[in-house]
Amino acid sequence: MIAATVFGFWRSYFAILPTAPLGFHIHGLTASLWMLLLLAQSYTPHRARVALHRTVGRATFVAIPLFAAGAMGVAHSMSVGTAGDNPFYELWGAPLGWIDMLAFGAVLYAAGMALRHRRNVRLHAGYMLSTALPLAGPVLGRIVNQTVPGLTIKGPQDFPLFGAGVQLAYVVFGLFALWLWRRDPRIGRPWAVAFAVVVVQIVTFETVGASATWRAAFEALAPVPLPALMALGLAIGGATVFAGWTAPGDRARPAAA
């Protein structure tokens, strides 16, 4: 996943690292932290290291608010680009902002539900792993636009092809989520939610996301100070942790936080 992220975002982020917007840096760091936490959480139970799994799991109390702050940071940077003269964001900034906001909400919902169902091992694991889907979608979309004939972006003249790459990536992940859900519907609830979110993203990316109303709302973030938006993200993430941890959950099975 890390290698795919570097490849997919090389031209738009890593190749211009010194001059990339601050919001991109913050989002990159916090999203990477979340992916590393998921990796540790999926690895430790299979190595009979349950105590370490629980300890790492409590890092979500910090990681979720940080991820939310990073999501607001990248939304701010994209809004600035959309409101400015960036040719890519002039075309795709608002639609990307829309599906990113949907992904942001989906990750927080799944993370909160994972905390709520921490004593139900399979539901807990499903919700935690499903948070990777919204993060992987943009990566695959950019890989498509660098490798798939007919959809390759070589310069600004090819920017209109970006939308097809995004849609193809989300179709792939939507089918993956659908398969995981239908494989065992009894405990497939996290993947049913993920599938529903992906369907909404596909349908609304170039409809609601491209509307004048949403564009105006998204551009309204540009003049808001970055620290204020990140503070809002921290608060939303903190509320997610509190709601998930204190909500009535499963009591009959051993804890697997």
Q: What is the pLDDT along the chain (257 residues), one digit of tens a residue?
A: 666 666 666 666 666 667 777 877 888 888 888 888 888 877 766 555 667 777 777 888 999 999 999 999 999 999 999 999 889 999 999 999 999 999 999 999 999 999 999 889 899 999 999 999 988 888 899 899 999 999 999 999 999 999 999 999 999 999 999 999 999 888 899 999 999 999 999 999 999 999 999 999 999 999 999 999 999 999 999 999 999 999 987 654 444 44
The answer to whether position 68 is within a domain reads: yes
Residue 234 placed within a domain: yes
Map tokens 């070589």 to a residue: 154
**pLDDT (0 to 100) of residue 12:** 60
The rounded distance, in Å, linking the Cα atoms of 142 and 9 is: 7
Task: For residues 214 and 43, give the distance between their C-alpha atoms in angstroms, rounded to a whole number.
Answer: 41
Q: Report the distance separating Cα 80 and Cα 90, nearest Å.
A: 10
- Is 76 contained in some domain? yes
Alpha-carbon gap, residue 31 to 136, rounded angstroms: 11
Is 150 inside a domain boundary? yes
Residues spanned by the domain of 64: 21-246
- pLDDT for residue 237: 97
Q: What is the pLDDT of residue 22?
A: 80
pLDDT for 42 equals 77
Sign of CA dihedral 77, 219, 109, 3: negative
The token pair that represents 135 in the structure block: 């993060």
Asked if residue 58 belongs to a domain, the reply is yes
Provide φ and ψ at 61, rounded to 5°: -60, -30
- Show the tokens assigned to 250: 């499963």
Q: SS3 string of 194-240?
A: HHHHHHHHHHHCCCCCCCHHHHHHHHCCCCCCHHHHHHHHHHHHHHH
Two structure tokens written together for 72: 């607001």
Sequential DSSP letters for 137-157 = HHHHHHHHHHHSTTS---SGG
What's the token pair of residue 145? 């636009």
Residue 9 lies in a domain: no
The predicted pLDDT at position 3 comes to 67
Question: Domain count of the chain?
Answer: 1
- Whether 8 is in a domain gets the answer no
Residue type, 73: G
With respect to residue 81, please indicate whether it lies within any of the assigned structural domains. Answer: yes
CA atoms within 13 A on the CB side of 27: 21
